[in-house]
A = this chain, B = another copy of it.
Amino acid sequence: MSSTNIKPAPVAPASVPADGPAAAGSFKMFHRVLDWITSERMQLINITDRINEIVRKSGVRDGIVHLQSLHTTTAVFLNEWQDALVHDVKIFFEQTVAGEAYWRHNDPEHSDCERRNADSHLRGMMMGQTLSLQVRNSAVLLGTWQSIILAEFDGPRSRSMSVQVSGI
């Protein structure tokens, strides 16, 4: 079948650091909490620069940065940061989880939640609240078009993300 029709690519893109041998060193761990106040019910925020700043401060050269948004009605993921696409992403979430459908979580007979935010929960769950990215040469490893995006699905709210950098 066609899905096995693969040839090795000749060279890696210039932006990718060269392969390195196994490195052993003293294991380090660094931790910060980032806070935001969001201003809309559904809102996307490009947090790439703030994450890179934490990684630079951490003193970790090679390892993992782990992001964990501490709220069920948020998400964190990668995508290109372009105005037109950011608009499409919001449309996609509205289409995939219909806010105006019947949800038991929004029904006072079944739920004591007054926010009527079942759609926010389902969007957050589908996309996930955690993201692990590699750290290489004291920076977050990202492809040319990859930005780190925080999604607010039930704003405006005060939001926190725990960021942990570990490695050598």
Contact = CB atoms under 8 A, between A and B. Distances in A.
Interface of A: 1-13, 15-33, 35-40, 43-46, 58-60, 62-64, 66, 68-72, 77-80, 82-89, 91-92, 96-97, 103-105, 107, 110-111, 113, 118, 121-122, 124-134, 136, 141-146, 158-160, 162, 164, 166-168
Contacts of A71: 143, 145-146
Contact of A70 (B7, B60, B142): B142
B72 A80 contact: yes
Number of this chain's copies in the complex = 3
Contact of A146 (B17, B29, B129, B144): B129
B104 A88 contact: yes
B88 A105 contact: yes
Q: Chain A: interface secondary structure?
A: mixed
A2 B40 contact: yes
A22 B30 contact: yes
